[in-house]
Amino acid sequence: MPPTKTSRIKEPARPKLPAAPAPAGPEHDLVDDEVLRELRFGARDLSGRDAQDVEIERCVFDGTRLPATVLERATVADSAFDRCDLANLRLTNARMFNATVTGSRMTGAALTDCAFQDVVYEACRADLAGFRFSTFKRVVFRDCNLEGATFQNADLRGVRFQECRLGGAQFSGATMTGARFSGCDLRGVAGVQSMRGVTVSAMDAPGLLASFAAELDITIEDG
């Protein structure tokens, strides 16, 4: 018999960042139709902005504050967000690809009807965040707090959740074939009937028992 091919999981592409991005000045802001390219934003306060059609390319955000900012149809490419405040950020119809979000606060963020490709979220606090109707391709959530997060009607095919806290997360209506969970707390997740075709590590599986029982109206009793 011919040898069988072992399918490899393709890692997300890393952002192509400039070696020495220029410091962002006061003239660089989140306004309609703005193009931000090869810039470094430090501990800058960009909170409360409301803009459409912003393009962000090959930029670094380091400790930048963007809470409660609203961006519609934004494009983010080859960029990195490190230790940023993204709480209650609102992204609608946005595209993000070749990006990393590390050590950032995303509590209550709403990223609706967006497309994410080759994105890594690592060590982020994203509790109560919403990813409704969004599409993910080659995306990894690693060591993130996603408690109470909402992935309703999202396309999560092939997404990897590693060492994440997902208690109370909502997956109703999601497409999840090929998604993988390893080292995750899955207690109390909702929408488990959407998890057809996922891979769950043996150590994570017991956390799904109560959720399956609740959705199938199964009573678990002692003795």
Residue pair 113/134 in contact by the 8 Å Cβ criterion = yes
Angle 178-184-188 from CA coordinates, rounded to 5° = 95
SS3 label, residue 188: coil
Residue pair 63/45 in contact by the 8 Å Cβ criterion = no
In the prediction, which pLDDT does 6 show?
A: 44
Angstrom distance (rounded) from CA 104 to CA 144: 10
Residue ranges of E strands in 143-216: 160-162, 180-182, 199-200
Tokens found for residue 121: 């979220």
Q: What's the N-to-C CA distance of the chain in angstroms?
A: 50
In the prediction, which pLDDT does 125 show?
A: 98
Other beta carbons within 10 angstroms of residue 179's beta carbon come to 23
In the prediction, which pLDDT does 4 show?
A: 44
Beta bridge partners, 221, equal: none
The DSSP element (H or E) to which 62 belongs, if any, is strand 60-62
Residue pair 12/120 in contact by the 8 Å Cβ criterion = yes
In the prediction, which pLDDT does 5 show?
A: 46
Ordered mean pLDDT values, 10 residues apiece, the chain (223 residues): 56 95 96 98 97 98 98 98 98 98 98 98 98 98 98 98 96 96 93 91 81 68 64
Q: 32-215 maps to which CATH number?
A: 2.160.20.80
The DSSP element (H or E) to which 213 belongs, if any, is helix 209-215
In the prediction, which pLDDT does 220 show?
A: 62
pTM, two decimal places: 0.91
Residue pair 120/13 in contact by the 8 Å Cβ criterion = no
Tokens found for residue 154: 């999202």
